[in-house]
Structure 1
Amino acid sequence: MAKASTSVEAKKPNIFMRVGLFIKQIIDEMRKVVTPTAKELFLWSLAVFIFVLFLMALVTGMDFGLGKLSLWVFG
């Protein structure tokens, strides 16, 4: 069915209202943020550090292994 020609379309809010709404939404979301305790912060930092060390070892091993493989194949 066609839209009735007498319906009034919703007016788009101006830029200042949109910016104000955006800032209000940011503040509302920031109120939901929970600060970790010192123990949680330490444990998460330790987990990230161990994960980064693992990835470094994995990439180093792949680099060394693929380097040796390419020397064996081509060299």
Structure 2
Amino acid sequence: MTNPVKLSDNQGTNTQDNLLFHNLIWLTTKEAAIYLRKSVCAVHHLVSKGKIKSRKFANRLYFKREELDYLIDSSLRN
């Protein structure tokens, strides 16, 4: 099994929470933006264009990590 990649937040700090981030199945909009290395606004734009599927729960958007991976993989093939 591979070691999880440490992700940095906007301040460039690495925390234990970022290691847990690697194991999440559902990501919030902010987490999806960090994962895709895009702004939150850019993620909202991708949702409105139908490029990313999102689910709404308790007035928040959530994204499946595997669908974000598929988006990245498909953009690399084009």
Q: Could you say whether these structures have the same fold, taking a TM-score greater than 0.5 normalized by the shorter chain as the test?
A: no
Using structure 1 for the length normalisation, give the TM-score. Answer: 0.23
- The structure with the greater share of residues assigned to helix is 1
Using structure 2 for the length normalisation, give the TM-score. Answer: 0.22
